Amino acid sequence: MRHSRWIAAGLYALVLASGMGCGSNVASVRQTEDGGATKSVATMTINEQLVPEWLEATGSVRSKYEATLASKVMARVVEVTVREGDRVRKGQVLVRLEESDLAAAEELAKAGLQAAMVQYGNSRTVAAMERSMSEARLAQALSALQQAEAGLMVAKARLDLAKAGPRRQERMQAELAVRQAETQYELAQTEFRRIETLHKEGAVAQRQFDAAKTQLDVARAQLGTAREALSIAQEGTRVEDLRAAEQAYRQAEATVAAARAAVLQARAGLLQAKVREEEIRAAHAQVGQSAASVRLARTNRSYTKIVAPFDGVVTTRFVDPGSMAATGAPLLTVVGGPTRLEAVVPEANIARIRLGMPVSVDLDALLKSIDGRVAEIRPYGDATTHTFLVRVELPEGTAAKPGMYGRARFEIGVRKQILVPKTAVWTKDGMHCVYAVTEGRAVMRIVMPGEEYGPNLRVLSGLEPGDVIVANHADVDREGQRVAAR
């Protein structure tokens, strides 16, 4: 950017040289007819020329990243590993805080997690046991109900038989029923002995053993009933037998009712076992909560190590070992990333600035200009000053440091300007003057100069297009001297 500006200025000088009239800059003196001395000088005719329009904005150099590190916990500072000006790497430990209290809190949280896990395991075990026992009770109750209902059927058959009295066909059927019942009893007895042996060896479950015993009891009862029915069929019904059959029937009904109540109670117990599942879920939730407490305690303990958030330089150190770090109180300030000049631009010119445009930055502390580029334009302005902040990124390797004062020059367009060589301007009594050629004489004219463009100088007032001036004021010896363009 710096070199392009000087090249442009050279082109302007070339344009100006082309309008300096004819001849060379060598002055010669000749004698006029009236005896006065006329001096041959280089002149130029004033014309408006297109030149770049610059916007200069001041600002300060800052780093892209700036972080003030603070503690999230209140603890005593044990160690500060850096000093102001030290370069740091991302993740490097900069400050260590006392962590004994937080370490104890983490151990306590771990113990709570272990207790919650034990409670969860116990809850699962108890629930499994209660479910198993409830299912066994229900199976036993259902078996007892089945047995009671079978007994009720037998009692009813006995009662009906006692009321009806024996017949020949009934005696035959009773004898046949006795033989069938004996066969069923023998089979049930054999099966029960087999199941009993396996149960003692642990090869079958309690439920199968109970079922085999129930089948044996049912077969025994059926055999007894069949034999009584045969006896009744052979002997006939007596009043005592009828009363006994009626009493047995009522007892069988009561047994069935009791068995049904037992089934209801067993089912209620099974529902209670399902309630245990809610306790298991609560215990599992407690495990999750305890695990979260462990993570929180571990995170709080990690806060005792203050690390660098990025590569950079420590600019400010606020604490020393032994100090008490309060929550939120600053410990260190770290800056990093590329350096940028933050310049303030009036809102009238912000529309002419675009991202990525080249910018010439002058830093007084370095006594040189740096070529930068627009990296960021803040999308909102200051309502009081009506200005916008523009960040100009500086190239790597420069000696620019945060806090330096600088000026940014933005090329925001072109405009017509009157340019004259610097050699044409001279100073008298604090005023800037040029020699204008009027009627063949060098006449002093006061001008107001502006910014410089290489070897040329912008004139804000005092000259108009078409005026002719002396290109080098040193060629004129005095005001009013007769001059001629060469």
Task: For residue 18, give the amino acid letter.
Answer: S
In contact, 336 and 63? CB cutoff 8 Å: yes
Residue 314, Cβ density class (10 Å: 0-12 exposed, 13-18 middle, ≥19 buried): buried
Among candidate residues 408, 446, 333, 457, the one with its CA nearest the CA of residue 83? 333
- Averaged pLDDT, 178-191: 87
pLDDT at 29: 37
At residue 58 the predicted structure's pLDDT band, cuts being 50, 70 and 90, is very high
Check the CA dihedral 198-202-204-207 and report its sign: positive
- Averaged pLDDT, 253-278: 80
Check the CA dihedral 195-200-203-206 and report its sign: positive
Query: CA-to-CA distance for 459 and 128, rounded, in angstroms?
Result: 101
Task: For residue 262, give the amino acid letter.
Answer: A
Lowest mean pLDDT among 111-125, 161-175, 351-365: 161-175
DSSP label at residue 52: E
Q: What is the DSSP string of 121-152?
A: HHHHHHHHHHHHHHHHHHHHHHHHHHHHHHHH
- Averaged pLDDT, 440-449: 93
pLDDT of 269 > 80? The answer is no
Tokens of 212: 């085999």
CATH 2.40.30.170 fits 2-70+329-485, yes or no: yes
pLDDT at 448: 94
Percent of the chain residues past pLDDT 70, beyond the cut: 88
pLDDT of 215 > 50? The answer is yes
442-472 as b/e: b if 16+ CB within 10 A: bbbeebebeeebbbbbbbeebbeeebbbbbb
At residue 132, φ and ψ (nearest 5 deg) are -60, -45
Query: CA-to-CA distance for 156 and 167, rounded, in angstroms?
Result: 18
pLDDT at 3: 39
Query: CA-to-CA distance for 173 and 182, rounded, in angstroms?
Result: 14
pLDDT of 431 > 90? The answer is yes
Lowest mean pLDDT among 76-90, 210-224, 239-253, 296-310: 239-253
Give the residue extent of every domain in the chain. 2-70+329-485, 108-295
pLDDT of 406 > 90? The answer is yes
In contact, 77 and 319? CB cutoff 8 Å: yes
Query: CA-to-CA distance for 59 and 391, rounded, in angstroms?
Result: 9
pTM of the model: 0.49
**Cβ count within 10 A of residue 322:** 9
Query: CA-to-CA distance for 210 and 216, rounded, in angstroms?
Result: 10
DSSP label at residue 236: -
Q: Angle formed by the axes of helices 100-164 and 206-235, to 10°?
A: 10
At residue 28 the predicted structure's pLDDT band, cuts being 50, 70 and 90, is very low
Residue 143, Cβ density class (10 Å: 0-12 exposed, 13-18 middle, ≥19 buried): buried
pLDDT at 14: 38
Cα-based torsion angle of the residue sequence 463, 468, 471, 473 in order, rounded to the nearest 10 degrees: -70
Q: Could you tell me which residue, 22 or 291, shows the higher pLDDT?
A: 291
pLDDT of 433 > 90? The answer is yes
Question: What is the C-alpha end-to-end distance of the chain, expressed in Å?
Answer: 37
pLDDT at 125: 81
pLDDT of 9 > 50? The answer is no
Among candidate residues 159, 155, 220, 165, the one with its CA nearest the CA of residue 189? 220
Cα-based torsion angle of the residue sequence 86, 89, 92, 95 in order, rounded to the nearest 10 degrees: 30
Q: Could you tell me which residue, 23 or 13, shows the higher pLDDT?
A: 13
Query: CA-to-CA distance for 419 and 51, rounded, in angstroms?
Result: 9
pLDDT at 394: 92
Tokens of 86: 């030290």
Q: Could you tell me which residue, 127 or 240, shows the higher pLDDT?
A: 127
- In 3-state terms, what secondary structure has residue 320? coil
Strand 75-80 vs strand 93-97: parallel, antiparallel, or unpaired?
antiparallel
Query: CA-to-CA distance for 221 and 13, rounded, in angstroms?
Result: 134
pLDDT at 342: 93
pLDDT at 164: 67
Q: Using one digit for the tens of pLDDT, what is the confidence trace for 124-179?
A: 887 777 777 777 888 888 888 888 888 888 888 877 766 766 556 667 777 888 88
pLDDT of 109 > 50? The answer is yes
Among candidate residues 305, 126, 157, the one with its CA nearest the CA of residue 221? 157
Q: Using one digit for the tens of pLDDT, what is the confidence trace for 301-323?
A: 888 899 999 999 999 999 999 98
Among candidate residues 409, 371, 410, the one with its CA nearest the CA of residue 393? 371
pLDDT at 49: 87
Length of the chain: 486
pLDDT of 250 > 80? The answer is yes
Residue 148, Cβ density class (10 Å: 0-12 exposed, 13-18 middle, ≥19 buried): buried
- Averaged pLDDT, 399-426: 89
pLDDT at 389: 95
Tokens of 110: 């771990």
- Averaged pLDDT, 45-62: 88
pLDDT of 26 > 70? The answer is no
As a whole number, the mean pLDDT across the chain is 83
Tokens of 246: 């009626």
pLDDT at 299: 87
Query: CA-to-CA distance for 421 and 277, rounded, in angstroms?
Result: 98
pLDDT of 60 > 90? The answer is yes
Look at the block and give the residue holding tokens 């502006």: 450
Query: CA-to-CA distance for 174 and 161, rounded, in angstroms?
Result: 10
Q: Which of 80-84, 225-229, 270-274 has the highest mean pLDDT?
A: 80-84
pLDDT at 166: 57
pLDDT of 240 > 80? The answer is no
At residue 412 the predicted structure's pLDDT band, cuts being 50, 70 and 90, is confident
Tokens of 334: 């770290």
pLDDT of 430 > 70? The answer is yes
